[in-house]
């Protein structure tokens, strides 16, 4: 797919894109963030593929679609015309379970997971595709019939269920406030979403790393997305630790290739639990145990180093 010459660029579209980036930069600087941490998603629902091509020629690479069926033709057309291009496609509209298979095949990030049943369906097809499907959980904060999402009281069970699904990577939460002419009126809804995360604030933050072996570009993109979650912890002054899956299993079970049942068993034994925890809960506890062991080891090394230093004096 050859880029158009400069004189053939759509001048109106080019100016619109420049204006959006100016607004992103201004808002980022005012809030103390780097503009490079903000991603621009061009929503292309009802937009013909020729217009999407113009946006691509102007440098846009991340696109959002509302409907699986409409997106399918655009995505397949553009990929066939430029197989080497690094596009990223997001599903930003409500997703029905009967479209889960196609969604996994087409989209890099699905923004609108709102139930355990939908998550299970996505995970099933992601396993078949051999794909780690990136998702966001949509939270319903506005009491509007037209808005979708999981209710606040059901959020933690959904997060817990998703964390135990092998081929889903939960990268964050998403919400849609009511439309207001004054954008300031939307702030309480996003503040409420932030408070949901802060409600269960721990003293430390440990996360399992994800290794993308296909190529460095995939690893970089996934790292950028996961970085948003880590930044949230840093902004709350939480020390952040990250451990590889094999490192966690080696720490808890004694071998890096342990399966989920072995992890569950050892978590129960080590914590002296009355019953075996569910797989997702065991995984979370295993990360915590691994972090605890690492911290104790570091403390011992630090103490020994200080003692040795005292003797040398």
Q: What is the pLDDT of residues 84-136, one digit of tens each?
A: 778 899 999 999 999 999 999 999 999 999 999 999 999 999 999 999 999 99
**Rounded Cα–Cα distance for residues 124 and 101 (Å):** 9
Given a cut of 80, whether residue 299 has pLDDT beyond it is: no
Residues 156-178 have pLDDT tens digits of: 899 889 989 999 999 888 877 66
- Is 110 buried (19+), middle (13-18) or exposed (0-12) by CB count in 10 A? buried
Given a cut of 70, whether residue 216 has pLDDT beyond it is: no
- Reading phi first (left if > 0) and then psi (alpha if -120 to 50, else beta), residue 28 is in alpha
Neighbours of 3 (CB within 10 A): 12
Return the percentage of the chain with pLDDT > 70, whole number.
70
Torsion of CA 288, 292, 297, 298, to 10 degrees: 90
**What pLDDT score does 93 carry?**
92
Confidence category of residue 281, pLDDT binned at 50, 70, 90 = confident
Given a cut of 80, whether residue 182 has pLDDT beyond it is: no
**What pLDDT score does 165 carry?**
93
**What pLDDT score does 212 carry?**
43
Given a cut of 60, whether residue 223 has pLDDT beyond it is: no
């Amino acid at each position: 797919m050859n880029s158009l010459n400069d004189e053939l660029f759509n001048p109106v579209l080019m100016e619109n894109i420049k204006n959006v980036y100016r607004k992103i930069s201004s808002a980022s600087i005012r809030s103390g963030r780097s503009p490079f941490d903000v991603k621009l998603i061009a929503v292309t629902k009802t937009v013909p593929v020729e217009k999407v091509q113009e946006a691509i020629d102007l440098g846009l690479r991340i696109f959002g679609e509302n409907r699986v069926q409409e997106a399918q033709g655009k995505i397949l057309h553009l990929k066939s015309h430029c197989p080497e291009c690094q596009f990223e496609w997001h599903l930003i509209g409500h997703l029905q379970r009967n479209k889960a298979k196609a969604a996994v095949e087409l989209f890099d990030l699905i923004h609108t997971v709102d139930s355990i049943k939908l998550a299970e369906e996505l995970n099933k097809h992601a396993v078949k595709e051999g794909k780690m499907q990136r998702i966001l959980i949509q939270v319903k904060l506005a009491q509007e019939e037209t808005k979708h999402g999981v209710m606040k009281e059901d959020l933690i069970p959904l997060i817990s269920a998703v964390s135990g699904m092998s081929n889903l990577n939960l990268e964050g939460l998403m919400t849609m406030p009511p439309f207001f002419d004054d954008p300031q009126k939307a702030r309480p809804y996003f503040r409420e979403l932030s408070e949901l995360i802060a409600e269960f604030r721990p003293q430390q933050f440990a996360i399992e790393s994800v290794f993308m072996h296909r190529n460095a570009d995939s690893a970089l993109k996934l790292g950028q997305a996961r970085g948003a979650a880590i930044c949230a912890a840093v902004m709350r002054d939480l020390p952040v630790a990250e451990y590889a899956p094999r490192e966690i299993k080696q720490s808890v079970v004694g071998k890096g290739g342990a399966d989920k049942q072995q992890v569950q068993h050892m978590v129960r034994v080590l914590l002296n639990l009355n019953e075996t925890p569910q797989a997702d809960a065991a995984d979370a506890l295993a990360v915590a145990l691994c972090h605890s062991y690492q911290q104790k080891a570091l403390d011992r090394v630090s103490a020994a180093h200080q003692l040795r230093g005292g003797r040398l004096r």
